[in-house]
Structure 1
Amino acid sequence: MKIRLGFPALSIVLLLLFSSLVALIPTSKQKQANRAPNIILILIDDMGSADVGCYRSSKSANQLPPTPNIDRLATEGIQFTNYYSGAPICSPSRVALTTGNVPGKWRITSFLAERKHNRTCEQADFLDASAPSVARELKTAGYATAHFGKWHMGGGRDVDNAPGIRQYGFDEYASTWESPDPDPLLTSTDWIWAKSDSIKRWNRTAYFVDKTLDFLKRNAAKPCYVNLWPDDVHTPWVPDETTLNDFPKGTEKPREFKAVLAELDVQIGRLMAGLKALGIDDNTLIVFTSDNGALPTFEGIRSGKFRGSKLSLYEGGIRMPFIVRYPARTPKGNIDNQSVLSAIDLLPTFVSLAGKKTSNSRADGENMAAVLLGKPIVRKKPLFWEYGRNNESFRYPAGRDKSPNLAMRQGDWKLLVNDNGSGTELFNLATDPSEQTDVSSQQPKVVETMRPKLLAWRTGLVKE
């Protein structure tokens, strides 16, 4: 018996067959979910912990503008309370992020400037291009890589022989004046900004966000790694044309700071909306943090509950906001108060999340991929910092914010001491995160255990 289908019935069968075939074709979201994540590292410049709304205490809650878009990253991801930058100042902190090493290993100990300044600081003029690089490691894993924003690991002023940004593994870049490859739209003169710049100072972060979204769109066939490193909220602040006319060199006043912070938050919102529009939001890992603490702190308001500021090894100089959002794999709205993370962890962590093993045999950090996916752990290795190799070239904050020039955290204990062995201070960060009470005299055994390790670590850096 033969069954004949009329046109309507045949159409239905064909439609069902077509629908079943379409169902087997992966959507863009499915394709994204089946590969390594896009990774965007958002590094803000001189952002204190209390600059971010979700990190504020009652002391600073009503004294700084809201940051709803940055806060939304935390409500949609994980907020960490024990993350540390690699240094309390720009250049070495960026070297730590890039290499997975403590920056002293690459002879970067302060902000990079003209050659004379670098010699006085006993440091190199730029990061050695042979140093490990997150971007280079991820390129071997099939990633497209880009750097948009401040560089400050060599180049600018009279340092004209710094390696180009591509030599560190980046396919594309757009950077500011303190780099070997400044973008001419941002740097019409030999300075950080000028009235003649095509992209005005207050539009710079929007420009970097646009660059990021365009790069992701053009490289949709690959996983992407992007450094999005705006130079907000570093002084001097220039939020608009009026400010530029009234203060050609910028200001350090609260009104201008609040305007810059508010605009930064708007641009983070634009970035997140752009990721959703591209259909890659779920499989994009966002890491939001700062290179070092705030300065000025407005009498401690921007440092929140922490003592210290930029240039200080107290918590206010190195303990930074750190938010991770990765909808495909991270829980929402978690706060991790247990895991202790560092900038030097990010290279091995990102490489692990890309499904590879790092080739950096000298890595100082730990693979914290599980932590970024919502599984707190106890840190295995202690953390070490230095800032200040001589009193001539290193300017510290005045008063109580001036710290000894070495620091170490092991468990809940934090030890500070000068490299000559003087000025020992010990704090229990579990009970005293504000570092108000030095307990070194009450805990001599802890000091006797930690101080030789810290001093030996510093001696080893100087010999390298």
Structure 2
Amino acid sequence: MKRIKLLCLILALPVFLAAQQKKPNIIIILADDLGWGDVGFHGSGIRTPNLDQLAREGVELTRYYTAPICSPTRVGLLTGRYPNRSGIRETTIPPWSDFGLDTTEELLPQMLARSGYIHRAIIGKWHLGHASLSYHPMQRGFTHFYGHLNGAIDYFSQMREGERDWHNDLKPSADTGYATELITREAVKCIGAYAGDAPFFMYVAYNAPHGPFQAPEAWLKQYGYDPAKPKYGKKKPADPGEETGDGLGHGNTIRQTYAAMVSCMDDGIGQIMKALKDKGIDEHTIVLFHSDNGAAGSGNSGSHGSLRGYKFDEWEGGVRAPALVRWKGGGLKGGTRIDQVMGYVDIFPTLKAIAGQQEAAKKTLDGLNLWPVLNGSAGKLDREFYLGHGALLSGDWKLILDQGRPNMKLNGDVLFRIPPDDAETENVRAAHPDVYKRLKAAVAPYEAIRSKKEILSKGPKNGFVAPKDWQITKK
């Protein structure tokens, strides 16, 4: 009997080892225009209990950087390369543009497919091209797409430029409801369908709390909404991004509405985490959360907290995002904070290493594999991180070149030491001329990166008419 038991243990050992080495499920949750000061774990008055729990159970990345605007961040996140390499540098892709993310770029789901990730879903906002099927997410490595191609859709009607932009794979979706809740529902559904032997990848790209500012009444009431009082900004024609102009989803103030939008998204994140736990896979799933850029600062909506600046700026408030990562099965210690300079372009190489992908990347990556830093096996790295438009981080130094950006009002190049000056109040360029000279030389090669084709500005529309149901037919 002892020999039989020993033989059984020997035969079972490869199965046991395979189970221990099983690749984790990966879920990236991206918020849209969520400010540094708009989460509970940064002291906000906006209630985000699920994100706060994620911070307690996971690791807060206190110096996590993005591009200062939406589409460029999504490029870097999915490619591991700075977005100016793809011609997406300072703006987003408008509905009337024929521009899209370079189809020669390898995206994260394409890389993960080679590592055995059978299911690879994008749920929510794409915003990386819609003029032809070659730009469609299901032609870029994703096996499922549920959500919208454009940005700034109406949350209730899902309309943009007079046509409904809501899709299930390659066809229009007839699902109706509030966009944030529809995204959550689909994410939970996919977790139930994908949980199994093979690892899965989900990119949950909420459009909240990006404008137009609209929220369900139940969430507005949690912030004191009184339907007997006037709604904010109700007017005709429609408020920016809204299609009806009837004030649907408006609270009494923009800030009240914004807070309700954030809490609704937070509730959705809680439902996603619960679905993982219900399936018994929460400890074997990497969950990464961050915003795509800083708060828009429109009216009295998003907050940059103690940081300086907003979306569109290379100030910390525009590019430093609230960010969390949780992977209990991977040994990440909950409730810790890491001040390593890292960000959106590091996700591709880090997940590439975690997934055990041995093949060389199709193109040179700008990001680094920071898994050794996250798991504590390596110390803090002193590295350069390009923020775009003349801005560069190098360790604790930050340079921003004055290149005529009127919204930043620089009046000359500036140099900061971060920390301790996270709020960027003291320009130390004069006190450290050697550092200034070194960083100015270091940023020049990044600034010189150009693509053969670059995205055009946001206008004009030039008589643009949206396709029926935003269905792509051009190949």
Contact 1:78 1:330 in 2 (8 A): no
Contact 1:177 1:191 in 2 (8 A): no
Structure 2 equivalent of residue 91 of structure 1: 71
Aligned-partner SS, 1:324: strand
State yes or no: 1:413 paired with 2:394. Answer: no
**Structure 2: distance between partners of 1:198 and 1:357:** 43
Contact 1:149 1:208 in 2 (8 A): no
User: Which deviates the most, 241-250 or 36-45?
Assistant: 241-250
Contact 1:29 1:279 in 2 (8 A): no
Taking the TM superposition and a 5 Å limit, the aligned residue runs for 1:244-263 are: 246-248=246-248, 253-263=254-264
| Structure 1 counterpart of 2:413, from 406, 417, 424 | 424
**Structure 1: distance between partners of 2:416 and 2:298:** 22
State yes or no: 1:73 paired with 2:54. Answer: yes
Structure 1 equivalent of residue 39 of structure 2: 52
Once the 2 structures are TM-superposed, how far is the Cα of residue 374 of structure 1 from its aligned partner? 4.1
Once the 2 structures are TM-superposed, how far is the Cα of residue 55 of structure 1 from its aligned partner? 2.2
User: Which deviates the most, 413-422 or 345-354?
Assistant: 413-422
| Structure 2 counterpart of 1:436, from 425, 431, 452 | 425
Question: 5+ residue gaps in structure 2?
Answer: 152-156, 167-173, 218-226, 232-243, 406-410, 454-475
Structure 2 equivalent of residue 205 of structure 1: 183
Once the 2 structures are TM-superposed, how far is the Cα of residue 268 of structure 1 from its aligned partner? 1.1
- CA spacing shift, 1:25–1:52, aligned 2, 3 Å: farther
TM-score normalized with structure 2 length: 0.77
- CA spacing shift, 1:245–1:30, aligned 2, 3 Å: farther
Identity of aligned residues (%): 29
Once the 2 structures are TM-superposed, how far is the Cα of residue 107 of structure 1 from its aligned partner? 0.4
Instruction: Tell me which amino acid in the other structure corresponds to 1:131.
Output: E
**Structure 1: distance between partners of 2:338 and 2:301:** 22
Once the 2 structures are TM-superposed, how far is the Cα of residue 373 of structure 1 from its aligned partner? 2.6
The structure that has the greater radius of gyration is 1
Structure 2 equivalent of residue 102 of structure 1: 82
State yes or no: 1:214 paired with 2:192. Answer: yes
TM-score normalized with structure 1 length: 0.78
Deviations 1:173-196 (A, max 9, x none): 1121418xxxxx956961568xx9
Deviations 1:200-250 (A, max 9, x none): 335233233334323423xx1211111011111111122126888851496
Once the 2 structures are TM-superposed, how far is the Cα of residue 441 of structure 1 from its aligned partner? 1.6
**Structure 2: distance between partners of 1:250 and 1:135:** 37
Count of aligned positions: 405
Structure 2 equivalent of residue 363 of structure 1: 365
Once the 2 structures are TM-superposed, how far is the Cα of residue 457 of structure 1 from its aligned partner? 2.1
**Structure 2: distance between partners of 1:304 and 1:298:** 15
Structure 2 equivalent of residue 152 of structure 1: 127
**Structure 2: distance between partners of 1:232 and 1:420:** 31
- CA spacing shift, 1:204–1:67, aligned 2, 3 Å: same
- CA spacing shift, 1:228–1:30, aligned 2, 3 Å: farther
**Structure 1: distance between partners of 2:326 and 2:355:** 16
State yes or no: 1:228 paired with 2:204. Answer: yes
Once the 2 structures are TM-superposed, how far is the Cα of residue 463 of structure 1 from its aligned partner? 7.5
Contact 1:338 1:377 in 2 (8 A): no
Structure 1 equivalent of residue 102 of structure 2: 128
Once the 2 structures are TM-superposed, how far is the Cα of residue 81 of structure 1 from its aligned partner? 0.4
Question: 5+ residue gaps in structure 1?
Answer: 1-12, 119-123, 180-184, 387-404
- CA spacing shift, 1:452–1:275, aligned 2, 3 Å: same
Contact 2:59 2:334 in 1 (8 A): yes
**Structure 2: distance between partners of 1:247 and 1:380:** 49
Contact 1:209 1:228 in 2 (8 A): yes
Taking the TM superposition and a 5 Å limit, the aligned residue runs for 1:148-187 are: 148-155=123-130, 159-160=131-132, 163-178=135-150
Contact 1:336 1:376 in 2 (8 A): no
Aligned-partner SS, 2:270: helix
Contact 2:295 2:302 in 1 (8 A): no
| Structure 2 counterpart of 1:37, from 19, 24, 39 | 24
**Structure 2: distance between partners of 1:316 and 1:67:** 19
- CA spacing shift, 1:299–1:417, aligned 2, 3 Å: farther
- CA spacing shift, 1:290–1:129, aligned 2, 3 Å: same
Structure 1 equivalent of residue 272 of structure 2: 271
**Structure 2: distance between partners of 1:140 and 1:37:** 14
Aligned-partner SS, 2:323: strand
Contact 2:402 2:412 in 1 (8 A): yes
Contact 1:406 1:454 in 2 (8 A): yes
